[in-house]
Structure 1
Amino acid sequence: MYQIQQAHSFPEWKKMISSTFVPLEAKPLSSAPFTGLLDGRQLHDVGIMRLEAGAQTVFRSPELIARGGVGHYKLSLQLSGHGLLLQDGREAVLQPGDVAIYDTQRPYSLTFEEDFECVVLMFPQHLLGLSADDVSELTAVRMGKGNRLAESVAPFVASIAAQLPELKSPIGHRLALNIVDLLSTMLADEVYSRPEQNTDNHARLLRRIQHHIEANLADQNLNPDAIASAHHMATRTLQKIFSASGITAASWIRERRMEKCRRDLADPLCNHVPVGEIGARWGLADGAHFSRVFRATYGISPSQYRSNPIPLTNLGANRQEAYGESQDSRL
C-alpha cells in the first residue's frame, strides 16, 4: 500500500524514520520549525521511500546495532540539496543525481545541512547477490556523474519512485526487484573496475568464482567439480578457497538457488508457473528434492510460501540445516 506520512515536529520525524527503516538517532541542525514528508511503498522485501525534510543528522549507533535485527542495505539517491554520508572510514558528498550504498549493520551517519529531498531504497542484504566483502569496499562511495552505470540507474530509480502511487502491486514488486538487480550489476561493475592492488589473489579468485556461480545457477550440472574444472583447478583447491569465507562451494550454490526460487515464488507475475518448474528453472529439476531443500532453508514448503510470501525476515528458517553439509549432496 502506498503511504504518505507527514511530521510537524522533529520528535515526530525521528519516530517516523525509525519505524519506517531501522532504529536511528537523529538531531535537527536548525532551530526553525521542522516539517518532514515521507512517502513510498513497501514491496514485499523491498522498501522504496521518498524523503523531503529540513536540515538534520541521522546516525546508526553501535548501541542500536547491538539490539539485533536482520541486516539491510540502503541505497540513497539524492534529488535535491546535499548530503554527507560517513561509513567505514569513508565519506561521500552526495549531490543531486548521486547514489551511495550503506550497511545498517555497521555504524553510519547522514548529514543534510539544508532542506533536501532523496529516495531511499532498503532491502535485506541477501537480495543483492554480492559477497559482504564486495559491498564493504563500496559503502559510502559516491556514484553519479562519470560513473557509467550510475548515470543510468539513478534516473530509473527516481522515475520508479515518482510512479509508486500509480503502480499496481504486482508490477511494483517486480520493478523493486529489478532495481535491486540493477544495483547489484552497478556495484559489481564498480568492484571490477577498481585497482586490485589492495586485494589479495585469493579474494579476487573467490569473487570471480562466486560471480561464475551466479551466472550459471540454471545449469543442472553446476557443482564443485564443474566449477573447479571451469577455473582450471582441483576440486580440493576450490574447497580451500571457499573455506576462508565460512561456507562451502556447495552451500553457496544452494543458497543462491534458494534465493532465486524464493523470489520467483513471491512474484505475483509468476503465479501461473508450477512450483516444480520454478525449481527446474534454477537447476533443481527434481521437484521432491527442491521441496525438501526449500523447507529446510525457510521452514515451509514452496507451495506454502507462494500462498503467503511473507518477508524473509519473518520466516522461522533453519538456514544452517540447508547450508551445511548433509547426507543429500545434491544442490
Structure 2
Amino acid sequence: MSLILTTDSVEPKERLAYWNDMICATYVQLETDAVQSDDFSGSIVTHRLPGMELSVVKSSAQKVLRTPHVISRSSDDFFIVSLQTQGQAIISQDGRDAHMSPGDCCVYDSTRPYTLHFGSGFEEIVLKFRRDQIHALLGGTELLTATTVEGHTGAGRVLFSLIHTLLNEIDRLRPAAAAAVANGVVNVLVAGLQSLPACKKAELSNLNAYHVARIRQYMDEHVRDPSLTIEMMAAHLGMSCGHLHRVFKNEAMSPSQYLWSQRLDACSRELIDLRKANLSVAAIAFSWGFNDAAHFSRAFRERFHCSPREWRQQAAAMAIAQGQRSADERG
C-alpha cells in the first residue's frame, strides 16, 4: 500500500514545519534547516513491504539533521539507505562525508548523529530497514556508514536496477512475493557494502569465516527443531561450546540470536503466504521451532513492531487492495 504526502496544499509560510513533520513521520525524528521561501516544496511517496519501507522523496534545497538531542528523545533503531536519482547530496556520519551524485547510494544508522545536505532541488529513493536485519548479515557497519557505493558497476548497479523494477511492479506484487523481493534487496545491499574497502579490512580470517559458515549452515538446516541447543551444535560440529561462542565473537549476533532471527523471519514469510492462510499463528510458530505461543508473540512484536495477527491482517489488506486495482484495470 502506498502513502502520498506533499506540501502542495499547504500555505507557503507553513510548508517547512509541515515538511519536518512529514519526514519525522516517515523516517525517524529529525530537524530540518532550510531557507523559508514561497517556492519550497516537497513530496514523499512511501510503499510499505514486509521487512522494508521504500519511499521516493522530491524536495527543495535543505539540511536534515539527526542530532544527539533528538536521538535521546526517541527509540528509533533503523538502517537507512539513500539512492540518489537527481541532484547532489552530502551525507555525513561517523566522521565521514559521502558525496552523492545520481546513481550513487549510501547507508546511515539512526542510532548515531548524521546530517543530510542537499544544496539544490533533489530526488532520492530511501530504503528503511530494521537495524538488526542488516546486523544479522554484516558486522562492523559503523565502518561503512557515509561511504559512497557507486551505482554504475557491481552490486550498486544491481541494487539500482532491482529497486527501479520493484517501483514499477510494486502495486502488482502479492505480499509473499513482496517479502521475497525485500529479502533480495537486503542481500544485494549487503553485497554492495561488502565491496567497500573498510569492510574488507574488517573481514575475519578465512578459518574463522569457514567455521561461522559451518555453524550457520547447521542452524539453517535444523531451524525447525525445537530441541536444537548450542551443546547439540557443538557436539555435531566437533567443537566445544566455548570455541563455538568464540567463533561468533566478532559477529553481529550470537549463535542463539541468529537462530531466533531465522525462525522469526521464516514465520513472518509464512504468515503472509496465501497458501498458509488455513494455518493458525500458533501452528506456524510451532512448525518453525517455537514451543511457547506467548513467547513467540512477544519476540515477534519486538522484532516487527506489531503482533503476528496484525502482520497477517496487513498483508491481507494489501492483497485485497491489489485485487481491487487489478479489477479496476480490467474494467
Smaller-chain TM-score bracket:
0.7 to 0.9
User: CA offset at residue 199 of structure 1?
Assistant: 3.3
Amino acid at match of 1:142: T
Which residue pairs with 1:318 in the alignment? none
| TM-score under structure 2 length normalisation | 0.74
| TM-score under structure 1 length normalisation | 0.74
- Separation in 1, partners of 2:54, 2:239: 43
Which residue pairs with 1:323 in the alignment? none
Which residue pairs with 1:219 in the alignment? 222
Which residue pairs with 1:113 in the alignment? 119
- Separation in 1, partners of 2:252, 2:179: 30
Q: Where does the alignment leave 5 or more consecutive residues of structure 2 unmatched?
A: 9-14, 314-331
User: CA offset at residue 158 of structure 1?
Assistant: 2.4
Which residue pairs with 1:175 in the alignment? 178
- Assess, with a 3 A threshold, how the Cα gap between structure 1 residues 33 and 91 changes in structure 2: closer, same or farther: same
User: CA offset at residue 19 of structure 1?
Assistant: 1.4
Q: Which moved more, 1:252-261 or 1:209-218?
A: 209-218
- Separation in 1, partners of 2:252, 2:193: 25
User: CA offset at residue 278 of structure 1?
Assistant: 4.2
Q: Contact between 2:3 and 2:45, CA under 8 Å: does it hold in 1?
A: yes
- Is 1:161 equivalent to 2:167 in the alignment? yes
User: CA offset at residue 33 of structure 1?
Assistant: 2.0
In structure 1, the residue corresponding to 2:140 is in which secondary structure?
helix
Q: 1:294 aligns with which of 296, 320, 325?
A: 296
Q: Contact between 2:60 and 2:120, CA under 8 Å: does it hold in 1?
A: yes
Q: Where does the alignment leave 5 or more consecutive residues of structure 1 unmatched?
A: 312-331
Give aligned pairs, total: 301
- Separation in 1, partners of 2:136, 2:128: 16
* The structure with more helix, counted as a fraction of residues: 2
User: CA offset at residue 120 of structure 1?
Assistant: 0.9
Q: Contact between 1:30 and 1:55, CA under 8 Å: does it hold in 2?
A: no
- Separation in 1, partners of 2:199, 2:180: 30
Q: Contact between 1:135 and 1:187, CA under 8 Å: does it hold in 2?
A: no
In structure 2, the residue corresponding to 1:41 is in which secondary structure?
strand
- Assess, with a 3 A threshold, how the Cα gap between structure 1 residues 271 and 83 changes in structure 2: closer, same or farther: farther
Q: Contact between 1:25 and 1:59, CA under 8 Å: does it hold in 2?
A: yes
Which residue pairs with 1:39 in the alignment? 45
Which residue pairs with 1:329 in the alignment? none
- Assess, with a 3 A threshold, how the Cα gap between structure 1 residues 281 and 207 changes in structure 2: closer, same or farther: farther
* Equivalent residues in 2 for 1:1-331, closer than 5 Å: 1-8=1-8, 9-28=15-34, 31=37, 33-128=39-134, 130=136, 133-145=139-151, 147-164=153-170, 166-167=171-172, 170-171=174-175, 174-175=177-178, 178-188=181-191, 190-191=193-194, 194=197, 198-199=201-202, 205=208, 209=212, 213=216, 216-220=219-223, 223-225=229-231, 228=234, 233-242=239-248, 248-267=254-273, 270-272=276-278, 278-279=284-285, 282=288, 284=289, 289=291, 291=293, 293-295=295-297, 297-298=299-300, 305-309=307-311
Q: Which moved more, 1:100-109 or 1:260-269?
A: 260-269
